Amino acid sequence: MITGMWDDINCPYCGAGQEINHDDGYGYEEGELYEQECPSCNKIFVFDTLITFSYTGYKADCSNGSEHIYEGTHTYPVEYSRMRCTMCACERKPTKEEMAKIITERQ
């Protein structure tokens, strides 16, 4: 997750906060230098990228002895749908009844 879509960087010349232009994935390569023009003072400066990752923890009761909570995946074609646990993301084949339900829900 890349955070901070606003005021990503301050111009090293005038200090104006601005967004990094990430069009076409530009500016995401670590260890590369990218050029950007400051809209405030019109000077070109370069920046490099340090990508940080953030993690969020979720409860996974089914990994702690509770039942998995399965939901049908939205696969196309519908016959290839699987049942995926909403907590741990494990998958299994749907039963006949579940498949019938998925097909009905999708109509």
Contact residues for Zn ion, defined by CB under 5 A: 11, 13-14, 16, 38, 40-41, 62, 68, 85, 87-88, 90
- Cβ-based neighbours of 61, under 8 Å, separated by 6 or more: 87
4 versus 12: smaller Cβ distance to Zn ion: 12
52 burial level (CB within 10 Å; 0-12, 13-18, 19+): exposed
The β-bridge partners of 34 are 47
By beta-carbon proximity to Zn ion, the closer residue of 79 and 91 is: 91
Q: Least distance from C-beta 90 to Zn ion, angstroms?
A: 5
The least distance separating Zn ion from the CB of residue 77, rounded to whole angstroms, comes to: 25
Q: Between β-strands 91-92 and 83-85, what pairing exists: parallel, antiparallel or unpaired? A: antiparallel
Between 24 and 67, CB nearer to Zn ion: 67
Min dist. Cβ of residue 35 to Zn ion (A): 13
Amino acid (1-letter code) at residue 84? R
Between 16 and 33, name the residue whose CB sits nearer to Zn ion. Answer: 16
Instruction: Calculate the alpha carbon distances from 54 to 3, 44, 45 in Å.
Output: 9, 31, 28
